[in-house]
Chains A and B, each alone.
Chain A
Amino acid sequence: MMDLRPAEWVRHAVLHPAEGFEDMRWKKAGSLKIAFFIVFMLFFGQIADDKLYGTQFFIPYDRVFNIVPYIVMSFVVFAAWVTGNWAVCTLLDGEGTMRNICIYSAYALIPYTVQLLLNALLSHFLIRDEAVFIEVIRIVGIGWTAILLFSAVKAVHQYTFAKTVLAVLLTIGAMLIMLFLLVLFMSLMQQVFGFLFTIWTEISYRIRV
């Protein structure tokens, strides 16, 4: 019973929002490789969503291309989610390991990623009057991912419904704190760099004179 290959587990988890992740946990299935692949596709999905839409819908400002926002919107946010969830749920008697949280969360992101890529593709075939298709696909994708993510947290930590809600809210709080600290750290680094650079400039002037 339930002897599935890794790729089939992905399908099973995505298509069975209620008990898919429970089955995965029971069978100790899930592949870290596939998880990373999904996050990587999310990264491309975010770029496609912003830059590769059909001209009839949106023409991006393509004079400059800054990759950092897309990295943040995929890798950084995902990493913050996984770390935050792990940190919170360790305190809340969660049973999930970091590896499992990472795998289950990544699997849950599939509908969202597919939606991003599918819409970017569809926007080249549809006209503005038919934008409602894109909108429906987006809503379905986001909703599905939300349900899956909830189910993933519930399964990986073996929580009740109420406790999962609490865990998700706390995780979002933890993510915000982490991002805040990150920004703080970056601005600190900037100032330290500026300070060192000034010292270097002063010294180099003295040496020359």
Chain B
Amino acid sequence: MNKSIRRLIAPALACLLLNGAAGISASAEPYEVYNYDRWGDAVPSQAGYIPERSVSGSDLGTTAFSEPADIFLAPDGLFYIADSGNNRIVVCDKDLTETVHIIDTLTMPDGTGTSLSSPQGVFVTEDSIYIADSENSRVLVCGMDGSVILELTKPETAAYDQNKTFMPKRVIADKAGNVYVVLGNITTGAAMFAPDGSFTGFYGANRVQPTAEIISDHFSGLFISDEKRARRTRNIPSGITSFDIDGDFIFTCSSSSTQTTDTVKKLNAAGKNIIADKEVTFGDYTPIYDSTQNRILSSAIIDIDIAEDGCINCLDQTSGRIFQYDEECGLLFIMGGIAKQLGGFTQPAAIESYGEELFVLDRTKNTVTVFRETEFGRTVHKASSLHNAGLYEEALVPWNEVLRLDGNYCAAYVGVASALLRQEDYRGAMKYAKKADAGRIYNKAFEGWRRQWLRENGGKLILGITALVAAAVFAARLIRKRRRKGESTDDGPQTG
């Protein structure tokens, strides 16, 4: 009796489960989740994040946003949204449910009030708020109460081209209180101000992409006169579009869709890009042709965010995708897209992260989209942070779990291979390293396996070789003897 009931119920349950699964996958994100395999081809993948909800201005209990430009999560746990179309900064709580207060007028040091005009960037430390007040050509540093401490305007020095306006787009400050400002019309790097407000120079300029034209210009430049050289068109690198600070390092991104040099940089205090030698392609590997828009989408990283765990989140404006990298610049997840539905963007502007959530601000949808980490995403993050810390063996269990969920996930094979190599399971390491195209790990594993094999079978190998050589020598001698005999019978009559 019991058995027959089970027999009846089982298929019904299975049907329900399958339906449920299909329903989830159909109603989820409006884009295809993919990742890159070991050859750099795009393959379907599991989602590391799924869009959870989108928050508009009215959801926060205030008027709708208008062309919001920047979102920042302050150390005190409040979100600061630069609502540039409405000339205000909206401060809301961590769960994005209600507005705490709105910054639109500030008190200058002399007691007069001043209002913002199209603020494009906001940055908050423990005790001060930094606002890139773009249309007013100034950067304001103010206390938490809204009183301006410092006003940074166009530097009146020779180092700054006086023909250029001062157009701050993004602002950050380091621990020492130095202020870095991204300017919309300057390609020589971010303007750097000392804590007292004096201009100290530019920081972290991008390099010029070495195209064939520029190389040939360089060589022809060796032979032309100084006057002619001065009148030539100059080769200008793309400027910095946005940046984020993580401890002692500043990460910059550049949204040029024609250049591939220095799209994402990790700068140390001296302004040197320390990930330049990794040669990572940020964004999509190859430009993708979109037939619905009839244009080629090459990545333009418009904003960058460093999570607490060191993950690098890059926001691509052209494709509306978020590319998440681990601290070693290994690609983890790709999500987002150009779409009207939840999870898609029309004109993404800024990205911020907190814990297992990502927040993406859309300039024309006027919303903040919240992405939440999935079970798969959590496992990958756990595994990759253990792996990057050098704890390969501890990472083995989560990596195996990742492979169980997504057999296409290339980094997991590298992780498992590294762990097995450390455990001296050379055969296993070779197997996984081959699947991940990790030649260096395979090489080490093979070296270990060869050493092991020689230790066990070295005697037999030498014995075998000796036997083979002996047999060859004997055979050669036999053949020679036989041939000589043949020759002597053949040649016999002739010589005789």
Contacts of B450 in A (CB 8 A): 125, 127
Contacts of B437 in A (CB 8 A): 59
Q: Is the interface of B mostly helix, strand, loop or mixed?
A: helix
Per-residue interface assignment for chain A, residues 38 to 61, with 1 indicating a CB less than 8 Å from any chain B CB and 0 otherwise: 000000000000000011111101
What are 15 of the A-B contact pairs (CB < 8 Å)?
A55-B430, A55-B433, A55-B439, A55-B442, A56-B439, A56-B447, A57-B443, A58-B439, A59-B434, A59-B439, A63-B39, A125-B450, A127-B443, A127-B450, A128-B443
Please, how many angstroms separate the alpha-carbon atoms of A60 and B225 in the complex? 49
Q: Is B249 an interface residue (CB 8 A)?
A: no
User: Which residues from chain A sit less than 8 Å from chain B, CB to CB?
Assistant: 54-59, 61, 63, 125, 127-129
Contacts of A63 in B (CB 8 A): 39, 41
Contacts of B446 in A (CB 8 A): 54-56, 127
Q: What 5 pairs across the A-B complex have the smallest Cβ distances? A: A56-B443, A127-B447, A128-B443, A56-B446, A55-B442
Q: Which of B430, B433, B439, B440 has the most CB of A within 10 A?
A: B439
Contact status B434-A55, CB under 8 Å: yes
Contacts of A61 in B (CB 8 A): 39
User: Which residues from chain B sit less than 8 Å from chain A, CB to CB?
Assistant: 39, 41, 430, 433-434, 437, 439-440, 442-443, 446-447, 450
Q: Is the interface of A mostly helix, strand, loop or mixed?
A: loop
A/B pair count, beta carbons within 8 Å:
29
Q: A127-B446, A127-B447, A127-B450 are in contact. Are A57 and B39 (CB under 8 A)?
A: no
Extra contacts besides A54-B446, A63-B39 (4): CB < 8 Å: A55-B439, A56-B442, A58-B439, A127-B446
Please, how many angstroms separate the alpha-carbon atoms of A58 and B443 in the complex? 10
A53 to chain B, nearest CB (A): 10
A63 to chain B, nearest CB (A): 7
Contact status B447-A57, CB under 8 Å: no
Please, how many angstroms separate the alpha-carbon atoms of A57 and B442 in the complex? 9
Residue of B430, B433, B434, B439 touching A57 (CB-CB under 8 A) = B439
A7 to chain B, nearest CB (A): 13
B351 to chain A, nearest CB (A): 34
Closest chain B residue to A61 by CB distance?
B39
Contacts of A129 in B (CB 8 A): 447
Please, how many angstroms separate the alpha-carbon atoms of A64 and B475 in the complex? 45
Please, how many angstroms separate the alpha-carbon atoms of A54 and B439 in the complex? 10
Closest chain A residue to B440 by CB distance?
A128
Please, how many angstroms separate the alpha-carbon atoms of A127 and B453 in the complex? 14
A51 to chain B, nearest CB (A): 14
A126 to chain B, nearest CB (A): 9
Q: Which of A56, A57, A58, A125 has the most CB of B within 10 A?
A: A56
Contacts of B439 in A (CB 8 A): 55-59
Please, how many angstroms separate the alpha-carbon atoms of A54 and B450 in the complex? 13
Contacts of A125 in B (CB 8 A): 450
Please, how many angstroms separate the alpha-carbon atoms of A143 and B434 in the complex? 34
Contacts of A56 in B (CB 8 A): 439, 442-443, 446-447
Please, how many angstroms separate the alpha-carbon atoms of A129 and B451 in the complex? 14
Contacts of A57 in B (CB 8 A): 439, 443
Contacts of B443 in A (CB 8 A): 56-57, 127-128
A60 to chain B, nearest CB (A): 10
Please, how many angstroms separate the alpha-carbon atoms of A128 and B433 in the complex? 15
Please, how many angstroms separate the alpha-carbon atoms of A59 and B446 in the complex? 14
Please, how many angstroms separate the alpha-carbon atoms of A52 and B131 in the complex? 60
B259 to chain A, nearest CB (A): 27
Please, how many angstroms separate the alpha-carbon atoms of A127 and B444 in the complex? 8
B46 to chain A, nearest CB (A): 22
Closest chain B residue to A54 by CB distance?
B446
B441 to chain A, nearest CB (A): 9
